[in-house]
Every structure is written in C-alpha cells, then in structure tokens.
A and B are shown apart, each in its own frame.
Chain A
Amino acid sequence: MKRSILFFLLLLFTFSAMAQTGKYWVFLKNKKNVTFDPYSYFDKKTIERRIAYNIPLLDSTDFPLNEEYVNTIVVQVDSVSQCSRWFNAMAVYANEQQIEKIKSFSFVKEVEPMMMMCNVAEKNTADWDTIIKPEQMELMEKQLTLMGGDKFEKAGIDGKGIRIAIFDGGFPTVNTSPVFEHIRKDGRILKTWDFTKNKEFVYSYISHGTSVMSCIAGMVNGKKIGLATGAEFILARTEVQSEPFSEEENWLAAVEWADKNGADIINSSLGYTYHRYFQNQMDGKTSLVSRAGNLAAKKGMLVVNAAGNDGDNDWKVVGTPADADSVLSVGGIDAWTKYHISYSSFGPTTDKRMKPNVCAVAHVIVAGKNGLNASDGTSFASPLIAGFAACAWQKARSLSNMQLFNQIEKSANLYPYFDYAHGYGVPQASYFTDTTITFKERTFTFDVESNEVNVNIKNFSYENNDDNLLYYNIQKDDGVLLEYNVLNVSQEKVFSVKISDYKKGYKLNVHYNGYTDSYSF
C-alpha cells in the first residue's frame, strides 16, 4: 500500500519536474558596440537586391547580437537553440530559476515562454503512383493553365535568375528524383540547411517539401508541374512534426538565412493556428512569424504563404504568418469547379484586412518521394503562386517586391472584385506577357425596379458559356465585406436585392465573366 502511494507520488513528481524546464525567447534591449560588415555577411545577390530597391545595407536588424550579452545568457541556461538578429533575441532552454535570473539582467528587455506547433498545410496525400494516368496529366496541365502558365512558357519565361527559398519539413529525393534533374544539372540548388538539426543535409524526413518544390519547379518528361523551372533554390528544413516546440524559432532563423543568402522569394507552406493562438490573434501583429514575414518583405523579399486548410473545421480562418499584411497569402480553388475548395481557410484577418490575397489550384499533381501523386492542400496552391511570382518577376525585374505583390493581385482573374475565400482570384500570366490592353465588355447590368436591384446577364447563353460563375458581395462603407457569394448562373435574371435592406454607402459588387461593377446603395 505504502509502496503504491510512493510510486504514484514519484510519478507525479517526475512529470511536474519535466514540465518545469521550458523554452523561452529572451529579447535583448540593444546591440551596443556591435560591428557589422554587410559585404562579408550577405550573399552578393542580397546586396544587389538591397541596392536595387533602396533598402539600406546597414540596417540595425541585420547586426549580430552583442556577444557579451550572448555569453552572459549562455552560461545561465541549459542550452541556446537559435539566435535572431532581426528580433535581437535568443531561443533558450531554461528552468524557472534560470529565467528569473535572466530577467534581472539590465540588457534583457523581455522573456517570453515559447510553445508552438505548426500545421504543414497539406490536407492528405494519396498513394504514390509512377504511372501518369490521363486524368493526372489533365490535372497537371490544369493547375498551370488556370494561371495562364502557357503564356509564360511561350514567352520563354521560367523564373530564371530568381532565387526561391523553400521552408518545409524535409526534401527527400530532391537530390535524386528525375523531377528535379534539370535543376540539379545546372547546380541551381545553391544552399540547404536543416534548422532542426543544425546540419546541411535536408534530403530526408517528410516529403511535403519535395511535393511543394515540385509545384514551383518540377518537371516530368518535359511536362511542367510548376512554372519556375529555371529558378534557383535554397532549401531550409524548419519543421519537425513530432517536435511541438521549435518550429517558430526555426522559421525565424530560416527567414534571416534566406535574406542572407540572397533569396528573392520565400515559399512557406506552413501555418500556425490553434496550438498556440486564438482566432482573434490572427491580426498580422501578434505572432512573431507574422512580424518576421513583414520584416522579410521590408528587406525586399516576396513571402508567399499558404492560407491554411482549416476552412472546413472549427478554426476556419487563415493561420499565421498568412495573416501578415505584407505576406502574399494563397487560398485554394478546385481545378474543375474553379471556385473555393472547401478546406481552404477564409479571411478576413481579425483587423478586417482581406486575406487570402490570391488563390490557385489546391488539388494538384505533385512529386512525392517515389513518384507522382495527387495531393490536396493550400500547401500546393502556395508554391504554384511562388513559381508564378518568379516568372512574373523575371519578366518585370524592375519591380520591387511589394510592387510585384500588388501586380500579382491586379493580375488575378477577379480583380478588382475580391472576397475572403478567393482574394482577388487566380493570377494571370497574360497580365505580365500581353502588352495590349483589352477592353472588358460589360457582361451584366444593374436594373433598378422600385425597391429592388436586379442583376441581369447580358446576352446570356447557357450552352456557349463555359464559365458560369458569378461572384457578388455586399461591401460596407468602411470597405469590409458584409457577405459574399458565388452563384452558378443558369438564367438571364440572376438575383435581386432589396435596397432598403442595406445602409446608404454600402455597395453591391458583382463579377461575371471578367467584368466587375458596383451598385452603391
């Protein structure tokens, strides 16, 4: 009896003790007496980018941490796992007593406990199959043609000269698979780093990164899986699915590493949601990764992030860093229905900004560990857009990252219409390749009858119309949407709304077949 009680108490004690050592961010107050030489630290391409876009080479956020401060912290903690120059912070393992001591140092600004688990934004992966079935081929083509990818191909644009950083959970077979042979042959995988194990080798672990990379630049038998087959790559392993506490710090370290190594675009098919955050914290300011995403944009990189796969579960809204203002968040559509795929996370952010920004096909053909397979997730919509962005940037190299961000939004098929499921829709290559401006003909009319606005399609013909999706929303006077809808049009008179139901200043925005118009109440 006594022995059992002792055993039970021992168990309790063991688990309590285990819980006491934790992981913390230690934010330092300043970078006093620190010197920094950008020419020896940055890759040549980073320096070129910064000069081209007037981004200062001597930015205090790039300076290293004060060595004296670091050394003082190092002896106080169990171990240091990462240091962030951008946030002047150290990620440390320490117990409560050690943290109390650290807090007492005059150079320590703040100590924040860390707890994180990320969702690799992949819905599921079907069984691999080496045979390309006709329907797989059809889908593979569709995922690119919906963005007008053939226009880039015809213009000989393949993302050449653009450096893309991919953050993911592993890249097995990227070093051997024929899907990436064209990249390896030219030595275009420039750097790799595993931030979870602090070593160079990344070609193992979960195959999510392999699939993501294939959606940016994969090629099978001369057929493109992604658009940027000519781009350069740096690969960072930042995620370990079984390790619940490290990913945020790895993401932060990787984004600084990407900047240092000259990345133009970062693709991050990851999202941090319910494990640490509440939905009302998805405001682009609360999480460290969203702030890091914005900072990366300030330093001239285009950050492309998956919106998330929580549209059909309790979470519903975009995760972080997809909530960040300067991060190009990518939602998912179905290749066949051409509208929102059920699991793609919805916007807006808590502070009512539009998210996602654009969308792409989320049910796609990807390269897995051993062959091609069909996969689902905004994880794959994001790299399709990253590949698109590389091509667009190659074509319009004079654009800064945020100008490119805006141009990608403007190129989307619904623009200027938007909603919180599609953003501005699917970006179109023709926007960047066609120099002629085509006038969009009115495809519908607003007809007012007493208290009603009727929306009627012009020259409606069901048989001849391949794309019958009509989008409409009600927009409040502050620009935020009240509601949004997608209809499958099957008659001339589509719908009507009562004018008296809406306040003065509200707008009815409608998009149909490339044409957008608004009716003001």
Chain B
Amino acid sequence: MRKIFLILSLFVFVAITPAQNVLLHKEVNDSIIQKYGPNLRNFHHLFISMGFVMGEPDSSGSDILYGNSTNYLVGYRYKLKLSNWFAIGYDIDISSYYFRLKQSLTKCTPDSILHDKEKFIIGNVGGDLYLRFNYGRRGNRVGNFIDLGGYGDLKTAAKHFTKDKMLNGNVVEVNTSHLKYVNKYNYGAMARVGFNRYVIYGCYRLSDIFKDSQYPELPRITVGLQIGLHK
C-alpha cells in the first residue's frame, strides 16, 4: 500500500513539474561535405516509363500493331559518379510488354486463327547495368547524359489474350496463361539519352521470347520516354 502511495506521489510530482521544452536545437557542422545528390557521388531515384515496340518481326507471321504494342515500366535507379563525366549504375524494375498482334492471313503466332483482338502480355522483373557519360555543365542536377548498358529480365507472367465478337452479339474473351512456349529469361542491350529528369530510351532484345524458335520472333526494339522522379 505504501509502495503504491509512493509511486502515485512520484507520478503526480512528475506530472506537475514543468519541463523545459526545446523548440529548436541545431548543431553547426564544421564543413559541409555532401556525398548524396543528383551530381554527387551517390544518387538514387525512382522512375517511370512508357515505350512503344518498334522494328520488324522475324517474319510477317508475328506482325504487330505499331502504336498499340507498348511497354510500361516502374523502377529504381542507382548512380555512382566516378568522375565529372562518367558514372556507373544499375536499375531494378518491374515491366510489362503488350504485343498486339496484327490479324493477317500470314499470321501464324501462336496459331493462324484470326481474332478481333489478340495480344501477348509479358510481365517481368529485371534490371540493368549501365555506363553513363555526362556532358555539359549541370550544377547539382542529373544534367544531360548518354547511358549505354545491358538488361536482363525474369518473366513473371505470360498471357495470350484473344477477343472475338460472335454473330449472336456475344463477346468471347480467352485468356491463356502459363504459356509453355515463352522463354523464362530475356536480355538485351539498351541506350538512353537523358535531359535531367526526361529520358529517351531504346532497348534491343537479343534473346528470343519464344522457345526453340517455335514461332517467328516478335519485334525486338522498344523506344520510349522515361521520367525520373527527382528534382
């Protein structure tokens, strides 16, 4: 009982004793040496991009609809500045490709059946390694640059989708997943031209999407615009 009384008294005492409230406390650094920043040794940021699939397929059997065949990407980028004009870095990203197939008599991927709409959707997680060549004065900004590098993707999803409007007005949509004829990995070369946060990128896929050349390969080039989420 006495103990409880003591604790209660202490509690009341603490509660009524006003404490000094520190509103502002600043320590002054002797020197400002920054290592993190857009034009400093380390920098990282998120980015988003959208691109269009371009180029010719291996044969007209895998013709696509240009403009409707797209690539979306969200990623994280790290840059290590090694000199005023040179840096290296890597990206980690999640991407998806939409290949809208052209419906023509020569079509044979993945079959010769013609549909109202048909597309391959391929989801990836991946990354790239790049060499960065900066040019022009830029202060503490990312500035103007050219990146050259290579990328690798691990397939997370591959779907074949068709849509047909039947004579009776019904719409039939068929979504086929776990496609066994799609390769698990992809890799290629890439280049980027950047103007601070705005980047034009181009990728060339060196690997095949389809296993064992079962079907004529889809176009290998993607060109698009990327926006770095930084100042």
A contacts, CB < 8 Å to B? 1-2, 4-5, 7-8, 11-12, 15-16, 19, 22, 113, 115, 274-280, 314, 317, 337, 339-340, 346, 348, 350, 419-421, 462, 469, 480-491, 494-495
Name B191's closest neighbour in chain A (CB-CB): A12
- B contact patch SS: loop
Contacts of A484 in B (CB 8 A): 24-26, 28
Decide yes or no whether B19 CB sits under 8 A from chain A. yes
Contacts of A275 in B (CB 8 A): 139-141, 231
Contacts of B123 in A (CB 8 A): none
Cβ B19 vs Cβ A490 within 8 A: yes
Contacts of B37 in A (CB 8 A): 274, 278, 314
Cβ B32 vs Cβ A491 within 8 A: no
Cβ B202 vs Cβ A339 within 8 A: no
With A420-B26, A421-B26 as contacts: A488 and B56 at CB distance below 8 Å: no
Q: List 6 A-B contacts (CB under 8 A).
A: A115-B137, A274-B231, A279-B32, A280-B31, A346-B26, A484-B26
In B113-155, the 8 Å CB interface with A consists of 135-141, 144
Cβ B202 vs Cβ A480 within 8 A: no
Decide yes or no whether B88 CB sits under 8 A from chain A. no
Decide yes or no whether B27 CB sits under 8 A from chain A. yes
Q: What is the CA–CA distance of A350 and B29 in the complex, to the nearest angstrom?
A: 10
Decide yes or no whether B1 CB sits under 8 A from chain A. no
Cβ A420 vs Cβ B28 within 8 A: yes
Partner of B221 from the list A5, A113, A314 (CB cut-off 8 Å) is: A5
Cβ B56 vs Cβ A4 within 8 A: yes
With A4-B54, A5-B55, A16-B193 as contacts: A421 and B24 at CB distance below 8 Å: yes
Cβ B202 vs Cβ A8 within 8 A: yes
Partner of B23 from the list A12, A276, A339 (CB cut-off 8 Å) is: A339
Cβ A4 vs Cβ B223 within 8 A: yes
Total residues of chain B contacting the partner, CB 8 A = 40
Partner of B28 from the list A4, A482, A489 (CB cut-off 8 Å) is: A482
Name A114's closest neighbour in chain B (CB-CB): B137
Decide yes or no whether B168 CB sits under 8 A from chain A. no
Decide yes or no whether B170 CB sits under 8 A from chain A. no
In the complex, besides A12-B191, A495-B20, 15 extra interface pairs with C-beta distance below 8 angstroms are A5-B221, A11-B193, A22-B136, A115-B136, A274-B37, A276-B139, A277-B139, A280-B33, A339-B24, A482-B27, A483-B26, A485-B24, A487-B22, A487-B23, A488-B22
Name A115's closest neighbour in chain B (CB-CB): B137
Partner of A115 from the list B40, B138, B202, B231 (CB cut-off 8 Å) is: B138
Decide yes or no whether B34 CB sits under 8 A from chain A. yes
Minimum C-beta distance from A161 to chain B (A)? 39
Cβ B221 vs Cβ A8 within 8 A: yes
Cβ B28 vs Cβ A481 within 8 A: yes
Contacts of A16 in B (CB 8 A): 193
In B6-58, the 8 Å CB interface with A consists of 17-28, 31-34, 37-38, 40, 54-56
With A277-B140, A317-B32 as contacts: A12 and B22 at CB distance below 8 Å: no
Contacts of B24 in A (CB 8 A): 339-340, 421, 484-486
Q: What is the CA–CA distance of A421 and B56 in the complex, to the nearest angstrom?
A: 62
Name B26's closest neighbour in chain A (CB-CB): A484
Cβ B193 vs Cβ A15 within 8 A: yes
Cβ A490 vs Cβ B18 within 8 A: yes
Name A15's closest neighbour in chain B (CB-CB): B193
Decide yes or no whether B90 CB sits under 8 A from chain A. no
Contacts of B138 in A (CB 8 A): 115
Q: What is the CA–CA distance of A337 and B23 in the complex, to the nearest angstrom?
A: 10
Minimum C-beta distance from A244 to chain B (A)? 9
In B187-231, the 8 Å CB interface with A consists of 191, 193, 195, 200, 202, 219-221, 223, 231
Cβ A113 vs Cβ B20 within 8 A: no
Contacts of A2 in B (CB 8 A): 56
Contacts of B55 in A (CB 8 A): 1, 4-5
Cβ B25 vs Cβ A485 within 8 A: yes
With A4-B223, A19-B144, A339-B23 as contacts: A462 and B200 at CB distance below 8 Å: no
Contacts of A277 in B (CB 8 A): 139-140
Top 9 A-B pairs, shortest CB-CB distance: A276-B139, A490-B18, A1-B56, A4-B54, A488-B21, A486-B24, A4-B55, A486-B23, A1-B55
